[in-house]
Every structure is written in structure tokens, then in C-alpha cells.
Chain A
Amino acid sequence: MSQININHPAVLETVYALGETTLIADAAQIVSLCQHLKNSEGFNRLDSITALDHHPAEPRFEVVYHLHSVQPAAPASSIQVKRIRIRCRISGTNPEIDSVFGVWRSSDWYERETFDMFGIGFRNHPKLIRILLPLDWEGHPLRKDYPTHGYKYSYKGGE
């Protein structure tokens, strides 16, 4: 993959590593950056949204977006693709970021999954509820301080 330059005020830093372009972006302006990437740079697909937990560092979470550009190319039967990654650091206390649902509809389930697994809130998401775990589950399993062992249901049967 070739290097991609993006000129937008939300981009704090651009990193090229292992043939991939990563934009370190300002979390407050994520929607405007995504709109710019979709409308001006042709990133018409959102590939995935996930997060990283840098516990106990602060700002604790990093929301990661992978975008994909699919454009018809010169011979009619071929297409040209580009990929780019956006990373946004957000605080560990009350982690929240704006939803990009208005830009790509596919962000719906990815944001619900990220909320489910990391407890990161997405402002203006149409219905931010758990998706993989039961709705009454406590805790967010992919956080680094969530244990893999020893967690058990307190069985209250027989009542």
C-alpha cells in the first residue's frame, strides 16, 4: 500500500509503518474527519471499528477505525482499493466519542460491539445497547482489568 496524505485539522500526526497509513486524530473532530475522508478522499467503506485498552495509562482508550476505498478503475472489470487507519485517544473516565453512524451505516454494529466489549460510549448512536453479551451483563470483557478466570454467576435459583 502506498502512503496517503490527508490534510485535515483533525489529523494530529500521520504514521507510515509496515506499508500502512495511520492517522492519529483528535477525538473531538472524528465525525468531520470521517466526512472529509468519505466525501473528498473516496473512502466509501468502513471496514471495522474497534478499540485498544492501554490500562493503566491515561488517556486510557484508543478507538481504531479501518477505512476502505473501493473505486472503479480504468479497465471496466477492475477496481482500485486503498486502506487507511484512524486512531483516537480518549480518556478512561467516562470514555465517550461521537458516533460515525451518520457517515457510514455499517458503524452501527461495530460501535455497539465496541461499547459492549470496552464500555466506550458513542454519542448520537441510534441505539447503543450490548450486542454480543446478554443485555444484563456486568462489566466489559475486553478491558485489560477484566479477569479471564474466577468470574462466576451468583446463582440465585430456587427462590
Chain B
Amino acid sequence: MSNIPYDDPVATIPAVEEKPGSPSAPRRMTLNMGPQHPSTHGVLRIVIELEGEMIVKAIPDIGFLHTGIEKQCEFTNWAQTVTLTDRVDYLSNLANNLVYALTVEKLLQIEVPERAQWMRVMLCEIDRLNSHLVWLGTHALDIGAMSMFFYCFREREEILRLKEMFSGQRMMTSYIRPGGLALEAPRGWDKAVSKFIKQFPGRVDEYENLLDSNPIWKIRTQGVGYVSIEDMLDLGITGPMLRAAGIPLDVRKTEPYSSYEKFDFRVPTRTENDVYSRYRVRLEEMRESAKIINQAIEGMPGGRFIADVPNVTLPDREKMKTQMESLIYHFKIVTEGYRVPAGEAYQAVESPRGEIAYYAVSDGTSKPFRLHMRTPSFANLQGLPTMLEGTLIADSIAALGSMDFVLGDTDR
């Protein structure tokens, strides 16, 4: 690494540094973790400087999964951009669809039918379960609880089947679109969802029993990965991490969107502020999500699944067969895309990882002028050095996993 022509943050640290003076002084060692390390859940590279077993310095190196989605958005029209938002956070794509749809609806100033809003809430909560299950399975796997992974992925498979039932896709659903939903919910959706959600709280108890009765799990997670509340707010950390520190910041409660104010749920918080409390918060969130889904199934309003705005939302298939105007609108929307009035909008929603916010700027044409994605993984990952510095190298995996970042979300 001698002739690097640019200012590499990593190259400047020598691999092993002998401290001058006493021979017994601890040696500093630089350890490269990732980008292919299995515990980084993606392609994150962390350069760790060690003194003995203590982490003195941790430098995250991101960008391995950068795909230029924000640039791509400027070259696709407002309707096509939905499919790109799926790819940002591939574990909770419906939250990304939703925040994009809400931002565009804010610019267009259109009202979404109540049925679509409730359906969105239900699907986003199903997606929250999906994301938390993947997190719980892989995080426990990292720490050594192998069987958790199989339990969690058993339920996740059912969730993916539900998503496939709704949209035809298991992961990249693009089901939530500006104006409402892509399709009417399939026949028998309520039976399928309620069958799944009835047995789900029992499954959460199962995870809880499996992990909480395991002394190794507790030893490895309790008191690990502390970040002070002041640091969290200063560093922009949101989501379960902040709630495990005692601040009940949840966009669903503080700035309700998509009729979340009509649902009865709690924002679970803890005060220990360690890896264990983050696990407890996520476990409680799964139970709360199950409650929200139950309420949504029971009280699902009737009506349209997409707003009837002729020059924005696609017309009904049946109308297109009989009405000339509908056919023309369909043709115009599909070929040119719809125009969005000039302006700017910022909309935040609560994704499983924290606050996700899109900033859309329109110049009045059919393509976004700028779409900035404020993603929770990027913001949370910024707190990694603060969390790791001063802890033991053996705790780094547990601490890292408790952040629940997705590298697609970080690098976009």
C-alpha cells in the first residue's frame, strides 16, 4: 500500500505500530474488517485500530454498493421512479415505496382513498415484521445462536408469500404507488393475513424464550454498544436505537401519516441503551405491529384502492375499453408520465431502521429535478465509531449488528 496516489483514510495508518520507549507498551495493530465479512451484512468495510483487544479507532468505509439511484431518478419519470425506491432498502421496500408515494402526493396535493391508506399501513407493518425477523435471525446467528435463523426465516417465508400474493413479487413489490396502490388486494387476502397474524405473537414468544433463557445471549448483549443520548441526537441516529435509549421518537406518532393516528399502538422504549435493550425494543415492536395489522384487517374500509385523478393515476381497465378519454389518459401517462407541479416537499416515515425521508424537488416536468433520500442506515452508521471506540474487539460484532443497517440503504 505504498504508492497510493490519493488520500486514503486507511493507508495513512501503519499496519503495526511499535510504540517507542518501553518494550512492554501495547502495540497498535490495524485490522481490516470487511468488505466481505459475513457479519457486516453486505459490503461494509471497517478499519479497526487495536491496542491489545481494545478498539482505539474505527473508520467505516462505505460506498461499495453505490449504484447512483439518486442520479437515475432524474432520468426516469415520476411513475417509473417507484421501482428504483424498492432497491434502496431491499429489506423494507414498502416503507421506501410509501415515503416516495407520500412525497409525490404532497407535491401533487392529491388525497388518497382511505382504503389505500389503511392497506398501506397494514403492508408496511407486515414489512416491518419482515425486516425485524431478518435482523433477529442474522444478529443472533452472528452472536452464535444458530437456530434463531431458521425460526425467523420460517416466518419470513410466510411474509414473502403474502407479499407475492398481493403484488406478484416476493421482494421488489413496487406495490405502493403515488395515488394509492398498484392493484386491488387479491381475493382472500384478509383470510391469508389473519391466518398468519393469529399465530405470530406465539412465534414471538418462542423467540423470546429461545434467546432470553440463553445465558450466553444475555452476557454477550447486555451492557454492550452504549452510545449516550446526546451523542445519538447529535449524530442523527433514529429508530429502535434511539428508542432503546429512552427517547420515544417515532414518526408514526409524532407526525402521523397515512392515517396512523387512527390506530391504537404503543411505542416501546427502554432505558438501558445497549444491544440487549435494542433487541427487546424490536421484539416489542413486532408485537405492536401485529396489533396494528389486526386492527387494519378488522376495520378495513371499502372504496377505491387508488385515487381517481385522471391525469395522474392510471384509469380503470374497464373504462378504457369503453371511454375514449380514459384510453388517451392511459396512453399519455404511460408514454410521457404525469407532470408534477413545481415545488419541493420533504416527507418522513418510520422505516424499521429509523426515520427515512425523501426530499423531492420538481421543476414542473414529468421527471424529478432532484430526489434526495435521507436513509436511516447512512445516518445510523455514522455513529459507529462513537459506539465502537473504547470497547473490546469481541463486542464489535454484537454492537455492529444491533444497528440493523442495510448497505443498499446506506450507499443507494
Q: Are A141 and B234 in contact (CB under 8 A)?
A: no
Cα distance, A52 to B361, chains bound together (Å): 9
- Interface pick from B66-74, B83-91, B276-284, B295-303: B66-74
Of B71, B106, B235, B374, which is within 8 A of A47 by CB?
B374
Closest-by-CB residue of B relative to A15 is B344
Q: B378 on the interface (CB 8 Å rule)?
A: yes
Contact (A129, B7) CB under 8 Å given A50-B359, A78-B248: yes
Shortest distance from the beta carbon of B2 to any chain A beta carbon, whole Å: 16
Shortest distance from the beta carbon of B407 to any chain A beta carbon, whole Å: 11
Q: Are B343 and A44 in contact (CB under 8 A)?
A: no
- Interface pick from A3-11, A29-37, A102-110: A102-110
Q: B35 on the interface (CB 8 Å rule)?
A: no
Secondary structure of the B contact surface, majority rule: mixed
List A residues 106-159 near B (Cβ within 8 Å): 106, 108-109, 113, 117, 127, 129-136, 141-142, 146, 148
Instruction: Tally chain B residues at the interface, Cβ within 8 Å.
Output: 47
- Residue-wise interface mask of A (54-84) relative to B, using a CB-CB cutoff of 8 A (1 in contact, 0 not): 0000000000101000100000011111010
Q: B320 on the interface (CB 8 Å rule)?
A: no
Q: Are B343 and A148 in contact (CB under 8 A)?
A: no
Shortest distance from the beta carbon of A84 to any chain B beta carbon, whole Å: 10
Q: A14 on the interface (CB 8 Å rule)?
A: no
List residues of chain A with CB within 8 A of the CB of B253.
Answer: 78
List B residues 50-80 near A (Cβ within 8 Å): 62-63, 66, 68, 70-72, 75
Q: Are A47 and B382 in contact (CB under 8 A)?
A: no
Q: Are B372 and A48 in contact (CB under 8 A)?
A: yes
Q: What is the interface residue range for chain A against chain B?
A: 35 or more
Of B7, B247, B361, B411, which is within 8 A of A70 by CB?
B247
Cα distance, A148 to B76, chains bound together (Å): 12
Q: A13 on the interface (CB 8 Å rule)?
A: no
Q: Are A77 and B248 in contact (CB under 8 A)?
A: yes
Shortest distance from the beta carbon of B330 to any chain A beta carbon, whole Å: 28
List residues of chain A with CB within 8 A of the CB of B378.
Answer: 109, 113
Q: Are B374 and A66 in contact (CB under 8 A)?
A: yes
Q: A46 on the interface (CB 8 Å rule)?
A: yes
Shortest distance from the beta carbon of B361 to any chain A beta carbon, whole Å: 6
Shortest distance from the beta carbon of A78 to any chain B beta carbon, whole Å: 7
List B residues 373-397 near A (Cβ within 8 Å): 374, 378-379, 382
Cα distance, A130 to B411, chains bound together (Å): 12
Q: Looking at B70, B235, B247, B267, which has the most chain A CB atoms within 10 Å of its CB?
A: B235
Of B5, B234, B412, which is within 8 A of A105 by CB?
B234
List residues of chain B with CB within 8 A of the CB of A44.
Answer: 233-234
Cα distance, A24 to B186, chains bound together (Å): 48
List residues of chain A with CB within 8 A of the CB of B7.
Answer: 129, 135
Shortest distance from the beta carbon of A136 to any chain B beta carbon, whole Å: 5
Q: Are B71 and A129 in contact (CB under 8 A)?
A: no
Cα distance, A146 to B406, chains bound together (Å): 28
Q: Looking at B8, B63, B109, B343, which has the most chain A CB atoms within 10 Å of its CB?
A: B63
List residues of chain B with CB within 8 A of the CB of A1.
Answer: 255
Cα distance, A48 to B253, chains bound together (Å): 21
- Residue-wise interface mask of B (398-412) relative to A, using a CB-CB cutoff of 8 A (1 in contact, 0 not): 000000000000011
Extra A-B contacts (18), CB below 8 Å, given A18-B343, A81-B254, A132-B63: A17-B343, A17-B344, A44-B233, A45-B236, A47-B374, A70-B247, A77-B269, A78-B248, A79-B254, A104-B234, A106-B235, A109-B378, A131-B63, A132-B411, A135-B8, A141-B71, A146-B71, A148-B72
A interface list, Cβ under 8 A from B:
1, 17-18, 20, 22, 44-48, 50, 52-53, 64, 66, 70, 77-81, 83, 85, 104-106, 108-109, 113, 117, 127, 129-136, 141-142, 146, 148
Of the A-B pairs whose beta carbons lie under 8 Å apart in the complex, a sample of 15, sorted by A's number, is: A17-B344, A18-B109, A64-B359, A70-B249, A78-B248, A104-B234, A105-B234, A105-B235, A106-B379, A108-B382, A109-B379, A131-B62, A133-B66, A136-B5, A148-B72
